[in-house]
Structure 1
Amino acid sequence: MSNEADVSLSVRLSKLAADLGPSPSDEDSMQSPEAVLRSVAAFGDIARVSTQLQSQAVATAQASGLSWAKIGKVLGISRQAAQQRFDTRRTEAIQAMETMRIVGPVSRNEEVEQINAAGRQGWKLIRSLHGEHALELDDDTWEVTRVSIFSLRPLPAASDGWEAASTRFPDCFFIRKILN
């Protein structure tokens, strides 16, 4: 990225961090230690989510046939560094417990149907990876919908009961309780 693009992105992220916290009531409180700590926390959240999305984008790129060398070049690191950092076979496995369930391996074409079938049995979507989804046992029944960030379709509305559950680049998964 060019310096100009970096500055532009920095400004946009700074505005996002400011929007994530409560607004200060006056100019002096913007420089208070508490306001600075809120910014630190907001940037921590942005970095954590950004890292997760980057990992998902790399997994998508690799799954689509792009080489580790090309992925590494775009990131400014070696092929070996890219593979060590992002290879999904190296990521931690989700521990199976009585209250956890994995749906997968599953194709993109059938994942929503299978997650919804589990949701009707009281399983709530909590994490999505390529080819598998983690669900936890819940007292309610759930339905899920998937929206690609590349789609022109609007995101499901909170006013209709939808809440964001997980992301897996380029998809966002939303869930809502099924009212019986």
Structure 2
Amino acid sequence: MSEKSEWLDDQLRVALSQVISAVEPTLAGRLESEPDSYLDLISLTYRSSEEIAELLQSAVTSARLAGLSWERIGQRLGMTRQAAQQRFGRVLESADTHLFGEKRRLFPVTAFDEMEALAEAGRSGWHSVGYGMYFHNLVRADEQWEHLRVAAFGANRRALELEGWQRIGAMWFPWAYYARPTGKPIETDEVAAPPND
């Protein structure tokens, strides 16, 4: 292991410990005197590992959508191309399957103009069901939709879902995207189709 790798591992370990400590500030003190607090540590660490596994899946999905090969992804993960594809490919393939009506691709869009383009499309009944570098895959509904982009690490997913937001695909670092129907009828009788790629 190189010095840089060791340094990165140390930095990650410290950062993850700080996150766990921030989530449960009393834990460190309780570990000194309450044996059962180790069960809380196990629970928090397990939940953290589940979240990290989801982040890894999102990172791989983002890499594939950005055009990187399974060969390169596998090399970075220390596994073969086939192993990487078997472990991470099924979610990516299933994310492209939508049993909706008419489909379009909003392309090209960037971080600077995509939210305005999604707002316009949403007023005409289109909403995002998937995205990648410079595009959003849209489907049409019979009501208006609104879209939200939040920082992937700052979003409280559960709170957003309680407000009716539906997460769109996997996170695209550094963003997570959400959409929800508004209950309002589309603005025009003739739905304007967003640009196709």
Contact 1:71 1:79 in 2 (8 A): yes
Corresponding residue to 1:4 among 4, 7, 19 = 7
Q: Does 1:16 align with 2:49?
A: no
Runs of 5+ consecutive residues of structure 2 not aligned to the other structure: 139-143, 185-197
Corresponding residue to 1:173 among 165, 170, 177 = 177
Contact 2:72 2:81 in 1 (8 A): yes
* Aligned residues between the structures: 153
RMSD of equivalent CA atoms: 4.5
Q: How many angstroms does 1:18 deviate by? A: 1.6
CA deviations over 1:86-127 (Å, ceiling 9, x no partner): 11467667xx9xxxx899675475794499569x9xxxx9x9
1:134-153 alignment runs, 5 A limit: 143-147=146-150
Q: Structure 1 CA distance, aligned partners of 2:46 and 2:61?
A: 23
Q: Structure 2 CA distance, aligned partners of 1:113 and 1:48?
A: 33
Q: Structure 2 CA distance, aligned partners of 1:41 and 1:57?
A: 24
Identity of aligned residues (%): 23
Q: Structure 2 CA distance, aligned partners of 1:37 and 1:80?
A: 37
Q: 1:15 to 1:115 in 2, by over 3 A?
A: farther
Q: Report the secondary structure of 1:33's partner residue.
A: coil
Contact 1:112 1:145 in 2 (8 A): no
| TM-score w.r.t. length of structure 1 | 0.58
Q: Report the secondary structure of 1:169's partner residue.
A: coil
Q: Which residue of 2 aligns with 1:61?
A: 63
If you compute each CA radius of gyration, which structure gives the higher value, 1 or 2?
2
Q: Report the secondary structure of 2:36's partner residue.
A: helix
1:1-180 alignment runs, 5 A limit: 2-21=5-24, 23-24=25-26, 27=29, 29-31=30-32, 32-88=34-90, 107=106, 109=109, 112-113=118-119, 143-147=146-150, 163=160, 166=167, 168-170=171-173, 171-173=175-177
Q: Structure 2 CA distance, aligned partners of 1:79 and 1:62?
A: 12
Q: Report the secondary structure of 1:87's partner residue.
A: helix
| TM-score w.r.t. length of structure 2 | 0.54
Q: Structure 1 CA distance, aligned partners of 2:46 and 2:101?
A: 29
Contact 1:143 1:175 in 2 (8 A): yes
Q: How many angstroms does 1:84 deviate by? A: 0.4
* 1:43 counterpart letter in structure 2: T
